[in-house]
Amino acid sequence: ESGNVEDFGRLYLAEPGRLGVRDSRGRAAAHQAAARNKLNILQFIAAHGGDLNIKDHAGNTPLHVAVENESVEVVDYLLQSGVNTSILNDKKQAPIHLVTELNKVAVLEVMSKYKDRIDILQGGEHGRTALHLAAIYDHEECARILIREFGACPRRPCNNGYYPIHEAAKNASSRTMEVFLQWGESRGCTREEMISFYDSEGNVPLHSAVHGGDIKAVELCLKSGAKISTQQHDLSTPVHLACAQGAIEIVKLMFSMQPAEKVQCLASCDVQKMTPLHCAAMFDHPEIVQYLVSEGADINPLDKERRSPLLLASSRAGWRTVQILIQLGANIHLKDVNSRNVLHLVVMNGGRLEEFANEVIKAQSKVSLLQLLNEKDKTGCSPLHYASREGHIRSLENLIRLGACINLKNNNNESPLHFAARYGRYNTVRQLLDSEKGSFIINESDGEGLTPLHIASQQGHTRVVQLLLNRGALLHRDH
């Protein structure tokens, strides 16, 4: 600790093995000297054959320790002595990664004198180079030195396929981002080009910034010339992404900074043919839905499965969005690729039918609502079929009250009662039988010639069998 070489020498001569003695952290004399910047002791250790690449319990060499403690003279000496600079500690850091992460600028400048002995492209954790780390932690001075002195290249991806510029965008590292953009300009690469690099997932930095959710990073990309209409490999724009995330402030910022791109973005479709409005509807962000429509988005575009935002929100149980779209005048008569209307989807996904019905009647008309009641999908099922299958008693009550037809048959000639019997829905069966036409449907057979009683017996639903027999179901044979 005192750095007294005479004392150290005496101790060594008394017991040469002491050079290898370690403390509780596994640190030997060389580590201790490096930590305290005791150059003379380190020189003594080297002269007496001590190992200057010795690792402690955390995998750190004396060079790691010297970097961490800003022991500038020791760093200089160790590099001059030709120590191994590429040893990774247990956190997968070589000294060059450590110096950057800890932002030890003075140490990095010393290291730059020995740049030929340091692999600047060496990857640490996730294959990140020192420049990636400078970007993540926004250590601009380190980034400058790495580029200027070491020749580090901002165009080298890590194992995940991210460039340093993407990491800067994702982590809102505006100062480092500026360093990268200037580097590009000095090489004849415009800011617009730099800001348009794709990573392995097809993200440009603006996508990465929106992913990270930091409005400052987004603003920085936009100021650097990133276009909000830039499409990823899946054809989605940063606007799609921000809408899916519910980041309304980011969406507003993008539109206010690039009004000329807005119209194109509102109409642009990703690979699923989804617009930004679909994305907002899919994840139930009613505020964004309202904002997009107020900014001129078409309220009824259809995606690949012919779903409008209203149908999509219903299929994902996004009831707040369903409500707002109905209020905004969305077309409730559209059908998806399975010929299902919004009422089918509300019932299938456990929506509150009463609220839905009231909303439609209030915002549009009762006639509109009644037109949906008995529509069949591709398999011939009405909304009532699905309410019966799922056993949604409240939906069933409301559908019947609104006048849904209980004896509609699907393509297999099954009525809602056949469905309820097959799935053992006791209360549903009772409700259907209690309705006005209940007595007419109890003995109707399906396409296989089976009555509800046959079906319930086959499936072993004894309570339902009992109920049907009590209500007068006949035991006649199926054909």
| pLDDT mean across residues, the chain | 94
User: Which one-letter DSSP state was computed for residue 58?
Assistant: T
Question: The tokens of 105 are what?
Answer: 């600028």
Which residues of the chain are in CATH 1.25.40.20 domains? 1-84, 374-479
pLDDT in tens, 360-404: 999 999 999 999 999 999 999 999 999 999 999 999 999 999 999
Q: How many other C-beta atoms are found inside a 10 Å radius of the C-beta of residue 351?
A: 21
Per-residue pLDDT of 164-193, as tens digits, reads 999 999 898 989 999 999 999 999 988 888
Model pLDDT, residue 80: 97
Dihedral of alpha carbons 304, 309, 313, 318, sign = positive
| Residue in the block written with tokens 């480092």 | 176
pLDDT value at 139 more than 70: yes
Task: Give this prediction's pTM.
Answer: 0.80
Instruction: Report whether 170 contacts 138 (CB < 8 A).
Output: no
Q: Could you read off the pLDDT of 274-329 as tens digits, one per residue? A: 999 999 999 999 999 999 999 999 999 999 999 999 999 999 999 999 999 999 99
State how far the Cα of 454 lies from the Cα of 192, in Å rounded to an integer: 71
**How far, in Å, CA of 83 to CA of 394, rounded?**
76
The predicted structure's pLDDT at residue 220 = 87
- Choose among 57, 52, 58: nearest CA to 85: 52
Indicate if the alpha-carbon torsion angle 435, 437, 442, 444 is positive or negative.
Answer: negative
Helix, strand, coil % (nearest 5) of the chain? 55, 0, 45
State how far the Cα of 59 lies from the Cα of 92, in Å rounded to an integer.
9
Pick the CATH number of 374-479 from 1.25.40.20, 2.102.10.10, 1.10.443.10, 3.30.300.280: 1.25.40.20
Per-residue pLDDT, averaged over 456-471, amounts to 96
Q: Say what the pLDDT of residue 2 is.
A: 58
| Overall average pLDDT of the 448-454 stretch | 95
Instruction: Answer for the pair 86, 121: CB distance below 8 angstroms, yes or no.
Output: no
Local structure of 270: helix, strand or coil = coil
**388, 428 contact by CB (below 8 A):** yes
Can you give the length of the chain in residues?
479
Task: Grade residue 75 by pLDDT with cuts at 50, 70 and 90.
Answer: very high
CA distance 151 to 171: 23
In the CATH scheme, what is the homologous superfamily, with its name and number, of domain 1-84?
A: Ankyrin repeat-containing domain (1.25.40.20)
Which residues are CB-contacts of 110 (< 8 A; sequence separation ≥ 6)?
72, 75, 76, 79
* Rounded CA separation 20/12 (Å): 11
